[in-house]
Amino acid sequence: MSGCPYFEKRHLLFKNKPPKTEDDEDASQAGVNNATKGGIIYGDYLQLNKILSSQVLQSELKSNKIHDEHLFIVTHQAYELWFKQILFELDSVREIFISGHVRDERNMLKVNTRIHRIVMIFRLLVDQFAVLETMTALDFFDFREYLSPASGFQSLQFRLLENKIGVPDTLRVPYNRRHYRDNFKGSDSELLLTTEQEPTLLKLVEEWLERTPGLEADGFNFWERLEINIFDGLNQEKEKIEKMPDTEEKEDMMAELVKQKEIFTSLFDDKRHDHLVSKGERRLSYKALQGALMIYFYREEPRFQVPFQLLTSLMDIDTLMTKWRYNHVCMVHRMIGSKAGTGGSSGYQYLRSTVSDRYKVFVDLFNLATFLVPRHWVPKLNPNVHTFLYMAECCDSSYCSSEDSD
């Protein structure tokens, strides 16, 4: 960046690396000093020789240089750079979960910050379409033949991202009846397969939610208490309505009550839950769903404040990914039209179909909004449980919050 002074800050004195032995220290010191002498400069640090030499216009190779192809290339490269950053953050978060470090509450700030960073990047990526949209369909037409058969379907990083977050193979919309992995060559295809088999962010969050303190049947037993409170509440409502004089309004209210009862009956029906999971309409385990709802209801407890933020950020990611898809669809419509009525598979129609709740990984967190209840129906924490919740943070102090062991 231009003239960024903190960039050049010389700070030889402070060694962040914890000193080990006197000898080690000297050695690293020496290394730093050498680096300072000749020194690394901005362009080398950023490897700009590679970054800035990677814009080769196919149209120019074909002796028909089209100006706007440069924008097309740079925009896609910028997307890929940011995808790499998202994957980097995502992997580091998954690592914290996988390694169990997430059990040390101190790591929640890191998890939360990095997930939030992904949110901010996606927000930028959605805005970034405004730049590519300065290219018109006519500009694009001038060079689009030269791109064949290169295709955005071949963006390895985006598919990795989907897999690692938790878009399952089974919910993908097929394109031209081909499996998505068939668009990739051998080693890439294997990499994709691997990520399908690794724990996804969804899976890791699910396991973490299942451990939400307060769910234990022999403890606070949140779920049973909630069920009791809700049906008590509904019954009291029913009694009140029944005492009302017979009017249209009374009928309406009774109908609404019946509907609410159905909704909550479905909530406490684990068989129904498993059925919805099997159809792909729910993605979290029943226990994890309970944990999420518990965090929703007790979000103000110190223990749950940051977890609540995390759930919100996960929904942000889902929302922004679908917004990204939708913005993409809008641009494609502008660039190639919908080809409505001409027959043949339409890329536009395909993309449109991916702007779907099937691709929302954390769809359950959204749908929990259906199951909210008045605050006074929420089971009260007794002082003991209060303490319990607070104390839960007191992890073994010998367990170290390993900074960036990832």
For residues 138-167, which are near a second copy according to CB under 8 A? Answer: 138, 140-159, 162
Q: How many residues bind a second copy (CB under 8 A)?
A: 194
Q: Which is nearer to a second copy, 225 or 277 (CB)?
A: 277
Structure tokens at 116: 């939030």
Distance in angstroms (rounded) separating the CA atoms of residues 221 and 187: 48
Residue 359 binds a second copy, judged by CB under 8 A: no
- End-to-end alpha carbon distance in the chain: 27
Residues in region 307-336 near a second copy by CB under 8 A: 308, 312, 315, 319, 322-323, 326-328, 330, 332-336
Distance in angstroms (rounded) separating the CA atoms of residues 90 and 317: 11
Q: Which is nearer to a second copy, 194 or 236 (CB)?
A: 236
- Interface mask (CB under 8 A) for a second copy, residues 200-229, using x and -? ------------------------------
Distance in angstroms (rounded) separating the CA atoms of residues 314 and 303: 18
The distance of closest approach from Cβ of residue 104 to a second copy in the complex, given in angstroms and rounded to an integer, is: 9
Structure tokens at 276: 């919805």
Which residues, in sequence order, are CB contacts of 311 under 8 Å at separation 6+?
A: 292, 295, 296, 362, 365
Q: Stretches 71-79, 192-200, 218-226, 283-291: which one binds a second copy (CB under 8 A)?
A: 71-79
Q: Which is nearer to a second copy, 85 or 99 (CB)?
A: 85
Structure tokens at 104: 């040390």
- Interface mask (CB under 8 A) for a second copy, residues 338-357, using x and -? xxxxxxx-xxx-xx--xx-x
Residues in region 164-183 near a second copy by CB under 8 A: 175
Residues in region 236-265 near a second copy by CB under 8 A: 237, 240, 249, 252-253, 256-257, 259-260, 262-263
Q: Any idea which residue has 């003239």 for tokens?
A: 3
CB 334 within 8 A of CB 133: yes
Structure tokens at 253: 């209210």
C-alpha separations of 155 from 73, 81, 150, 184, 188 in Å:
13, 12, 10, 9, 10
Residues in region 86-125 near a second copy by CB under 8 A: 88, 92, 105-110, 112-113, 116-117, 120-121, 123-124
Q: Is 37 left (phi over 0), alpha (psi -120 to 50) or beta?
A: alpha
Q: Which of 40, 187, 217, 271 binds a second copy (CB under 8 A)?
A: 40
